[in-house]
Structures are given as structure tokens and as C-alpha cells.
């Protein structure tokens, strides 16, 4: 299975804002059209995300 692409810097900024607005992972993934797993991975450790 191929690895999904990482979130761009713009997408990371959007996730940060959505987290502050207390959106769920499901809502974030729907708005960004990205998987919940890639968002979850970013939120687990945003400083070392790559």
C-alpha cells in the first residue's frame, strides 16, 4: 500500500485552527478532504511532523 502524502504547511495551519475551534477529527478530515489518520499523526506531534 502506498504511503499518503504529508500535510502541506497550509493544511497544518488549518488543522491548528480547527483544533482550537474544537472540531472533531472527522470534521477536519471532511473539510480538508484528507484522511483522519494523517491528521491524527500531525496532531500527535506537530513539532516533529514530517
Reported as a single tens digit per residue, the pLDDT across 12-37 is 999 999 999 999 999 999 999 999 99
Q: Cα(20)–Cα(40) distance, rounded to whole angstroms?
A: 15
Residue 10 lies in a domain: no
pLDDT at 2 over 70: no
State pTM to two decimals.
0.88
pLDDT, one tens digit per residue, over 4-16 is 789 999 999 999 9
For residue 44, being part of any structural domain is answered with: yes
Query: Does 41 reside within a domain?
Result: yes
Please count the structural domains in the chain. 1
Could you tell me the residue range of the domain that residue 36 belongs to? Answer: 21-50
**Span 41-46, mean pLDDT?**
96
- Domain presence at residue 1: no
Amino acid at each position: 500500500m502506498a504511503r499518503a502524502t504529508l500535510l502541506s504547511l497550509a493544511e497544518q495551519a488549518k488543522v491548528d485552527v480547527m483544533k482550537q475551534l474544537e472540531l472533531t477529527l472527522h470534521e477536519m478530515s471532511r473539510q480538508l478532504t484528507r484522511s483522519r489518520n494523517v491528521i491524527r499523526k500531525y496532531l500527535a506531534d506537530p513539532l516533529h511532523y514530517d
